[in-house]
């Protein structure tokens, strides 16, 4: 069935473009997985804990640093308007990064103390650097997508991870401590941007040079609904995913957070890559069926769910059951506990694998409001699980088990919401549909 789903998508230039980007992402993620056994022998679990907290903070600040203006770049009809939106996204990224830098200067010491990661203290300067790198990468990536420069998109991902891997390996070989991991992570984004800039042609440079501040201001106003509606949802979604590492470090120390970070690093890459491929196939067929044949859309939804479930069940069982032994063998004995954490989190990763490809259903029906509520539920569950662990004095693994089960139930709620809108909703863009984002 997954092959049939993907075969529906693999037609024409769209498929070639998607395949190019997917292969670039696959190569980049394969590089990350390949060097991980080396990194776990050069760095300690506590070092990885510092990296996990740093990555969490930068992922949250970097995800919203452009205030989602970058997502409007492919939507403008005229290239002149898109150039103004691109520059607006860059300017908001710079402004937000300055705000992040100010917060780090004023409250950085308190952040380190609260997160219980003293190893991050001399590396706080890398947080604004990583945030700015993500701001520029987010915008240039979607400018390249608009210009159909899909090879540049693919190679940018490879350049990102190649630069990161080279720095982390070299620094880990020459010196001890988390600096190599953190600085390598921060430098990855600029490496990807260089590849995008090299792909700019004469038309790109002409458009950008000729764009005036008045056009940028119009772009900020024209797409004002993006920061107002999309930024809060993304902030909730990213925070719910990234804050567990910070909470683990705060409650149980950087070693436990580092074990958690390694488990995530190993599992989420293949989950997201395979999910992205099937999700593209689903997205290629579902919108048309939603407009023309609602029962066929429901059958596609159920069938996709079923096949994702058995693929995920078999794959997760194959990894999770022997995980402590495999982690000790591949990454070193110090990382056995990461395998235990993976076993605890397996049910959540399984649910995430099933829901990720079909989670676009709510957007197809213009129900970003339901998606915002669901993201809020993820954040509430995250806060509640770790607060309970703190108040009740629970062990790290017990807290993670509560978190894993609760998050899995919320992924199930997403499936029920998606089924509901298929049965009773109106596809986005049709009369009666909730208002779409401009």
pLDDT band at 131 (very low <50, low <70, confident <90, very high): very high
pLDDT band at 146 (very low <50, low <70, confident <90, very high): confident
pLDDT at 343 over 80: yes
Mean pLDDT, the chain, integer: 86
pLDDT at 165 over 50: yes
Which has the higher per-residue pLDDT, 18 or 329? Answer: 329
Q: Are 351 and 358 in contact (CB under 8 A)?
A: no
Which has the higher per-residue pLDDT, 201 or 317? Answer: 317
State residue 18's pLDDT score: 59
Which has the higher per-residue pLDDT, 156 or 116? Answer: 116
The per-residue pLDDT for range 357-373, each reduced to its tens digit, is 887 788 777 777 888 88
What is the pLDDT averaged over residues 279-303? 78
pLDDT band at 245 (very low <50, low <70, confident <90, very high): very high
Which has the higher per-residue pLDDT, 382 or 271? Answer: 382
The per-residue pLDDT for range 390-403, each reduced to its tens digit, is 999 999 999 999 99
SS3 for 188-240 is: HHHHHHHHHHHHCCHHHHHHHHHCCHHHHHHHHHHCCHHHHHHHHHHHHHHHH
pLDDT band at 2 (very low <50, low <70, confident <90, very high): very low
Which has the higher per-residue pLDDT, 26 or 93? Answer: 93
What is the pLDDT averaged over residues 143-166? 82
* pLDDT above 90: percentage of residues in the chain: 49
State residue 19's pLDDT score: 65
State residue 22's pLDDT score: 67
Instruction: Give the chain's length.
Output: 438
Q: Are 183 and 55 in contact (CB under 8 A)?
A: no
State residue 284's pLDDT score: 66
pLDDT band at 101 (very low <50, low <70, confident <90, very high): very high
What is the pLDDT averaged over residues 72-86? 88
Tokens of residue 96, six digits: 């937000």
State residue 204's pLDDT score: 79
pLDDT band at 259 (very low <50, low <70, confident <90, very high): very high
Which has the higher per-residue pLDDT, 152 or 34? Answer: 34
């Amino acid at each position: 069935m997954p092959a049939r789903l993907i075969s529906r998508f693999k037609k024409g230039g769209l498929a070639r473009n998607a395949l190019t980007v997917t292969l670039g992402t696959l190569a980049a993620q394969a590089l990350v997985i390949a060097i991980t056994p080396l990194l776990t022998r050069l760095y300690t679990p506590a070092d990885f804990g510092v990296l996990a907290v740093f990555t969490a903070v930068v992922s949250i600040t970097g995800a919203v640093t452009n205030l989602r203006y970058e997502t409007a770049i492919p939507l403008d009809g005229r290239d002149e308007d898109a150039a103004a939106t691109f520059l607006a996204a860059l300017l908001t990224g710079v402004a937000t990064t300055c705000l992040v830098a100010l917060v780090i200067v004023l409250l950085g010491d308190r952040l380190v103390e609260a997160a219980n990661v003293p190893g991050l203290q001399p590396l706080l300067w890398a947080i604004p650097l990583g945030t700015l790198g993500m701001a520029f990468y987010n915008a240039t990536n979607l400018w390249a997508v608009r210009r159909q420069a899909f090879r540049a998109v693919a190679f940018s991902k490879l350049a990102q991870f190649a630069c990161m891997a080279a720095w982390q390996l070299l620094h880990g070989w020459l010196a001890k401590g988390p600096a190599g991991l953190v600085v390598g992570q921060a430098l990855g984004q600029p490496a990807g941007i260089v590849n995008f800039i090299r792909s700019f042609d004469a038309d790109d440079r002409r458009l950008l040079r000729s764009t005036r501040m008045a056009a940028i201001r119009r772009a900020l106003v024209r797409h004002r609904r993006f920061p107002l509606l999309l930024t809060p949802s993304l902030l909730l979604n990213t925070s719910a995913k990234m804050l567990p590492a910070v909470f683990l470090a705060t409650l149980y120390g950087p070693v436990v957070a580092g074990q958690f970070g390694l488990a995530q690093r190993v599992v989420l890459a293949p989950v997201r890559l395979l999910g992205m491929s099937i999700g593209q196939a689903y997205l290629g067929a579902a919108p048309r069926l939603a407009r023309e044949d609602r029962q066929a859309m429901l059958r596609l939804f159920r069938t996709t769910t079923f096949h994702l479930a058995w693929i995920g069940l078999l794959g997760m069982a194959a990894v999770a059951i022997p995980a402590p032994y495999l982690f000790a063998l591949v990454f070193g004995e110090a990382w056995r506990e990461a395998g235990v954490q993976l076993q605890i989190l397996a049910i959540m990763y399984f649910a995430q694998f099933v829901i990720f490809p079909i989670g676009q259903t709510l957007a197809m029906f213009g129900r970003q409001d339901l998606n915002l509520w669901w993201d809020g539920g993820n954040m509430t569950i995250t806060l509640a699980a770790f607060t309970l662990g703190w108040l009740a004095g629970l062990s790290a693994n017990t807290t993670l088990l509560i978190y894993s089960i609760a998050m899995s139930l919320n992924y199930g709620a997403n499936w029920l919401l998606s089924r509901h809108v298929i049965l009773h909703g109106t596809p986005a863009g049709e009369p009666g549909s909730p208002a779409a984002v401009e």
